[in-house]
Structures are given as structure tokens and as C-alpha cells.
Structure 1
């Protein structure tokens, strides 16, 4: 498996993986109409038009094809906005590798901490983040395309904890 910076040609597959992940994992939180009828087009548009800054980090994991991606928006405290892995590629360490690579890139940008939100009830993802050293840091509602969904903030106060995750 190779982890590399995303290229413009990757945007459609990133959008597809993103939409399918939400369709599989957010059924209890978002409407069937959104997930089944509108989300794929919304994600395609979002990723086609996404302004990715020079310090932002978007990485893909690929073997013969893209299997997952991570997107981190750079700020004083970088925000991991997305981590999604194709359902047939889960539980193979891809998410962990993507997160560690993103943390190393953020560290190279001079950042010392990193954080993300996880939907409350998404225990599989939350367990991954806490196993990788993330610390729960409160719950807040987040607007997901017009639906307020409780999200738990997970924080790595020391980015090295995440950056140093091994295979």
C-alpha cells in the first residue's frame, strides 16, 4: 500500500468513498433522502470545487486503486476533517496509516497538536482514535448538511503521539 498526496484526478474517487462511507455509517443520523438521493452529487460537487490550500493535507492510500483518504485543514491547530476507508478495505490498518502520515505532514508544517470530530455513536471510529492516543475533549453539535448531529471532539495535545504510530 502506498500513501501519497492526493491529486486533482483523485477528487472523484475521494468524493465517492466519502459519500459511500456516510451512507454506510450515518444512517442513524441523517435522512434516507439525503443519503440515498442527494449525497453522492453533493460530495462530487464539494470535492470538485474544494479549495485545498498549500499547507492543507489530503492524502490517499492506494494499492491497485484508491482505498481511502484523509483530509486535514491547516490552522494553528490542524483539523482532521475527513478520514474514510472503503468498506472492503477496513480493519487492515489503512486508517491508522493515513492518520499517522497526516500527523507527520502537519508536524512538518510546524504544528504541535491536531484534532477531529467523531459522530457520537460511531464507536468503531472513536475506538480507533482513542487507541491511537486521542483524548476525548467534549461534545458539540455539528451541522451535517442541515442536520445537527452530536460530535465528540478528539484531541492529540502532542501530535507526535499520532505521528509516531507504526505499521
Structure 2
């Protein structure tokens, strides 16, 4: 759990360094950069310089910790997301919405792979009680992508697939 905490902090710092360094960026350009990044940059205003440095240190530290675990255990498998996909509110359809709290919780297990650059793959794992698809994510050491591809292929072959309730065959002839 400590690795996830370090990774989340470092991931946040990586996203907000644009503001801390004074580089012209997406402070108010929601259309070009999206609400998520704009709000993240605004949140950076509360970071101290020591917080930024700790975040920068956490990136290689997180990678080293993950590599050690992977060398001992092989593959790390987690849910792809911590929460099922939330319903999209009607008011969000025209321009989207930005809910950083929910997004952070959803992306909890993706952060370490995104941050360290270690190879990861998501594959189907079934469906929850509401009928929404669920997935698992596997993380592996660098240059071990073939293990991930074999694992994902095996999962795809055994997990029963369902068509979504709303489905459009856009590539059908």
C-alpha cells in the first residue's frame, strides 16, 4: 500500500510541475487541456517545494520497489480500476465533467504503471452485479511484455463476453 501512496503523490506532482516551474500552461484553457488537467494544475498552487521534491524522488523509488517485487514474485495483478465505471450525468454530456476524487479512486491501480513506465496490460475479468465489465491489470518487469500478452490472451479465451446493452456495429458492412 505504501508503494501506491508514493506513486499517487509522485503522479500528482508530475502532472502539476508545469505550474510549479512557472511554465506557461493550461491554467485556464479547459477546451485545449480538459478540466482534469486544469483542476490539477490549480491544485498545485498548494504544493510546497519540498512536496515537489518528494514527488520527484518517489518516481525512481516507486520503480525500484516495483521491480524488486516483480523480481521476487513475477507478475503483479490488480483490478484494472478500483471502482466500477460511474454513471455519466446528463449535464456532463455536452462538455464533460471533472471529479478528481472519483477519478483518483478509479485510477488507483493504474498509477504505478503509468508513473514508472513498466509494462502493463488490462484484460477482461467478467462482469459486476450491475452487468458492467470488470478487468484485471497485470504489471511486469521491463522487457517482459510477452508474459503479459500470454496472460491477457489466456484471460480473453476463458472469460465469457457479453454485448453491451447499447451497442452500435460501426464497422459492420
For Structure 1 versus Structure 2, the TM-score category normalised by the shorter chain is under 0.3
TM-score, structure 2 normalization: 0.25
Greater CA radius of gyration, 1 or 2? Answer: 2
Higher relative contact order (CA 8 A, sep 6+): 2
- Of Structure 1 and Structure 2, the greater strand share is in 1
TM-score, structure 1 normalization: 0.25
